Amino acid sequence: MPASLATLQRALVYLDRDFIADQYEVASGEPAAATLVRTRSPQPGGGLLPFSAEVGAQEARSHPLSTLQMLGRTWPHLAGQPALNPREYAERSLTEYGWVQATLTTFQVRLRSSRDGQDTAATAQSSHFQLHGESLGRHVNLVTTPDAFAPGFQALLPLQMTLLNKFALPVCAYLRLLPAKDHAENWIAVPLVVLEAQPALVRDMAALA
């Protein structure tokens, strides 16, 4: 029997709302009520950027279900998706989708300038989430959207500067792997669903069992 909605809710770390809404529409065949709104993008100095359209459109969708309920409805299909193997991924490939089981951590990058062999002040810094695991080969950097996190998780990134010493959470993550790497040759991916690796959920995922 697939995991219950309560189990999914307790395990939820990250959920891309647009992705799960698309999955629900595909799985159910029920279209959302949609509204297209024309937008005009102001340009600095009043001019247009080359090769840029001034007028665009935004789509607002309305479903009778919450995103959590959509996740519950589509979970049997989503849990049946294949595993992702970053070890076999190659540069200049198409993007790939799939599940990985790994440890979610935080990572901070600081760039410093040097003069006469001496480090000076940091010129740039950034914090992001990473996935670690033997099955990944190297680490996988995650490009995340702040409002897709369950409450509290996004706040961990700025805490690396002060309070946070270590963070390591076992998760199952459904990713879109991009043909992009950081300077340490780690792949970059967009997370779509991230759940704590609770046994009831892992059992649903045949590709990770």
pLDDT score for 33: 77
CA 163 to chain centre: 24
Give 11-35 pLDDT, tens digit per residue: 999 999 999 999 999 888 887 777 7
CA distances from 49 to 57, 145, 170 (A): 18, 26, 45
Give 169-202 pLDDT, tens digit per residue: 999 999 999 999 988 889 999 999 999 999 999 9
Measured CA to CA, the distance from residue 205 to residue 75 in angstroms comes to 10
Query: Count of CB atoms within 10 A of residue 79's CB?
Result: 22
Radius of gyration of the chain, Cα coordinates, nearest whole angstrom: 20
Give 92-136 pLDDT, tens digit per residue: 889 999 999 999 999 877 665 566 666 566 555 678 899 999 888
Measured CA to CA, the distance from residue 55 to residue 178 in angstroms comes to 29
- Sequence ranges of the domains in the chain: 1-32+65-209
pTM above 0.95, yes or no: no
pLDDT score for 122: 57
pLDDT score for 163: 84
pLDDT score for 184: 85
